């Protein structure tokens, strides 16, 4: 499928040397996330998972916003008058991509926060593996400012990354904060000047593209799943996951790594990766 055909009306997809750029594409609405956008995102993410042009997915926004959150008009107004089944379906489509698909996605994901990031936008931000923000990006849990709670799954999502005192402060005040503060809060890995945002994000994507993709996938998934497990469960699961990784890895990375370190002594794992 051509990149231009993938995204539909609300999402733009571009491929560039192993990177799939997925852009929320409603710049006139500050990329507010509508039900239509959810449907487009589900289709795009589903397709990219098995598209060899996508080694890493970078999620960002077209124009001046990353995303101004849920589309208050299209999402809330349009479903308020509807039946509970319609509401349930609308919420389900949003959850499907913002949380379920992104949280356990087969390809590595980086959120590139280029501008406004409010409310509901925290969910896809947090569910991506990594996040880089522009120092000029503006974040806010603005729900309280228009009389609702950080719902969907926002309150849960922020509790996985933010310190409780700080999360509560922003939930209760709705105060805005910038990219550097988002870095201090642990919401993004780094905040960089706006003119370096793309360059730095691509640099990180390139590092990921050099790794053994099977092992990288298993490592990401294992980390995300053990967060919800006890120590006992984690030990059992991780041992099984490590064995499974060896079994499913067509590259036989573990074998190569061991042999290049112990037998041929051609590399030091502490300094960098084995020769693929």
Within 11-30, the residues that bind ligand ACO by CB under 6 A are: 28-30
In whole angstroms, how close is the CB of 261 to ligand ACO at the nearest point? 49
Within 142-161, the residues that bind ligand ACO by CB under 6 A are: 142-143
Distances in Å between the Cα of 144 and the Cα atoms of 140, 170, 173, 176, 193 are: 10, 9, 7, 12, 29
Q: Is the backbone of residue 219 left (phi > 0), alpha (psi -120 to 50) or beta?
A: alpha
Q: Which of 119, 124, 179, 253 binds ligand ACO (CB under 6 A)?
A: 119
Closest CA relative to residue 139, chosen from 156, 126, 153: 126
* Nearest CB to ligand ACO, comparing residues 154 and 197: 154
Q: Is residue 98 near ligand ACO by the rule CB under 6 A?
A: no
Distance between terminal CA atoms of the chain? Answer: 30
Q: Which of 97, 105, 116, 177 binds ligand ACO (CB under 6 A)?
A: 116
Residue whose entry in the numeric block shows the structure tokens 């409603």: 26
Q: Is residue 61 near ligand ACO by the rule CB under 6 A?
A: no
Torsion of CA 60, 61, 66, 72, to 10 degrees: -130
* Nearest CB to ligand ACO, comparing residues 32 and 48: 32
In whole angstroms, how close is the CB of 75 to ligand ACO at the nearest point? 8
In whole angstroms, how close is the CB of 60 to ligand ACO at the nearest point? 16
* Nearest CB to ligand ACO, comparing residues 142 and 218: 142
Q: Is residue 69 near ligand ACO by the rule CB under 6 A?
A: yes
Q: Where are the alpha helices (DSSP H) in the chain?
A: 3-6, 35-49, 78-80, 84-95, 102-103, 122-127, 154-161, 164-173, 179-184, 197-210, 213-226, 231-248, 253-262
In whole angstroms, how close is the CB of 142 to ligand ACO at the nearest point? 3
Q: Which of 120, 179, 213, 253 binds ligand ACO (CB under 6 A)?
A: 120
* Nearest CB to ligand ACO, comparing residues 25 and 142: 142
Residues forming beta bridges with residue 21, ordered by sequence position: 14, 58
Q: Which stretch binds ligand ACO (CB under 6 A): 38-46, 116-124, 164-172, 251-259?
A: 116-124
Which three-class secondary structure state does DSSP give residue 135? coil
Q: Tell me if 155 sits within 8 A of 117, measured CB to CB.
A: no
Distance CA 175, CA 118 (A): 11
In whole angstroms, how close is the CB of 68 to ligand ACO at the nearest point? 3
* Nearest CB to ligand ACO, comparing residues 68 and 126: 68
Distances in Å between the Cα of 57 and the Cα atoms of 61, 177, 183, 191 are: 13, 26, 21, 19
Given the rule CB under 6 A, which residues bind ligand ACO?
Answer: 28-30, 32, 68-73, 116, 118-120, 142-143
């Amino acid at each position: 499928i051509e990149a231009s055909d993938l995204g539909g009306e609300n999402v733009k997809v571009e491929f560039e040397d192993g990177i799939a750029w997925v852009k929320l594409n409603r710049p006139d609405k500050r990329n507010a996330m509508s039900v239509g956008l959810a449907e487009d995102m589900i289709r795009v993410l589903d397709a990219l998972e098995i598209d060899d042009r996508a080694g890493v997915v970078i999620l960002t926004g077209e124009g001046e916003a990353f995303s101004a959150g849920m589309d208050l008009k299209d999402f809330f107004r349009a479903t308020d008058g509807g039946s509970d089944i319609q509401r349930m379906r609308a919420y389900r489509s949003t959850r499907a991509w913002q949380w379920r698909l992104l949280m356990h996605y087969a390809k590595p994901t980086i959120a590139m926060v280029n501008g406004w990031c409010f409310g509901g936008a925290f969910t896809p931000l947090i569910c991506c593996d990594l996040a880089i923000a522009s120092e000029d990006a503006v974040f806010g849990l603005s729900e309280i400012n228009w009389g609702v709670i950080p719902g969907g799954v926002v309150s849960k999502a922020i509790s996985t990354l933010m310190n409780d005192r700080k999360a509560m402060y922003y939930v209760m005040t709705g105060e805005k904060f910038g990219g550097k503060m988002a870095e201090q809060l642990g919401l993004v890995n780094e905040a960089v000047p706006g003119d370096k945002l793309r360059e730095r994000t691509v640099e990180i994507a390139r590092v990921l593209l050099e790794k053994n993709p099977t092992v990288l996938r298993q490592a990401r998934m294992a980390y995300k799943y053990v967060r919800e497990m006890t120590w006992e469960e984690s030990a059992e699961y991780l041992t099984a996951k490590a064995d499974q990784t060896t079994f499913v890895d067509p590259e036989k990375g573990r074998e190569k790594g061991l042999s290049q370190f112990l037998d041929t002594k051609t590399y030091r794992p502490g300094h960098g990766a084995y020769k693929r």
